[in-house]
Amino acid sequence: MENISCQKSFGGWHKRYRHRSSALNCDMVFAVYLPPQAERGETLPVLYWLSGLTCTDENFMQKAGAQRMAAELGLIIVAPDTSPRGADVPDDAEAAYDFGLGAGFYVNATQEPWARNYRMYDYVVEELPALIEANFPVSGKRGISGHSMGGHGALICALKNPGLYASVSAFSPITNPVDCPWGEKAFSGYLGSDRSRWRDWDACALIGKADEKLPILVDQGDRDDFMSTQLKPEALQAAAKAAEHPLTLRIQPGYDHSYYFVASFIDDHLRHHAQALKG
């Protein structure tokens, strides 16, 4: 790993690293916030944060205001990029912002030319945690959260891997990607035309067969322009109810899809994770 930046924050350190990813076949950058307890020799749990369309590791770290509470609670936060990057990584210049670079959707692509690089699921679930656990003072307990496309990623990672995460939450997640324009575009490109295979990457489908009923916290703003067409929180609510899966869905009046919304409720989510990760 190459440390490319380092800033002091609330007694801890925000650091960015570059490394070669074998899962994605390219160089990747991730950010990590190490609270002050890490310098005192404590081993700490990790919260993985997955960002949304067009974002990088910097969006959450700069805009969410999570460091103060993370320092208080003793949580390490890790924020990866949202897709592979580099001159040799394929992109679709005509696909606008919702496919290709910055839009990895946290799946393992099976279609060419995407399959060689677009394996964000393997990167988030396997490669990045192994790197973190080999190089930082972590306890091995993991939580996962995210926003929008990253909220979708957080939900599917937790639902597909019983026992791997101790906590999960999401802000404005794409809950039912098999039935929304963003998801249909991404899944048809990355996974092919067989829609039955898409269900392996859809939270509403996965929740019905989840082997572990990990409590889910979701916040959704009611002034979110994407709520009814892309995010569909009511679909997740119905699927959770049918599966008797514990879900706390909070519709927040007046809030939109921005990081102003995320920053307003991030402390609640950090406490939710800390309760599960640290008891």
Can you tell me the distance from the alpha carbon of 148 to that of 150, in angstroms, rounded to the nearest whole number? Answer: 5
The pair of three-digit structure tokens given for residue 39, joined into one six-digit string = 């310098």
Catalytic residue among 21, 83, 148, 172: 148
- 171, 148 in Cβ contact below 8 A? yes
- Rounded to the nearest 10°, the torsion over CA 180, 184, 186, 189 is -170
172 catalytic? Reply is no
Dihedral sign of CA atoms 181, 187, 192, 197 in order: negative
From the list 14, 147, 152, 257, the catalytic residue is 257
Q: How far apart are CA 175 and CA 151, in angstroms?
A: 8
Out of 169, 224, 245, 273, pick the active-site residue: 224
Instruction: For residue 224, indicate whether it is catalytic.
Output: yes
Angle ∠(53,119,44) on CA atoms, nearest 5 = 80
SS3 12: strand
Query: Rounded to an integer, what distance in angstroms lies between the CA atom of residue 250 and that of residue 19?
Result: 37
| Amino acid making up residue 74 | G
The residues that are catalytic are 148, 224, 257
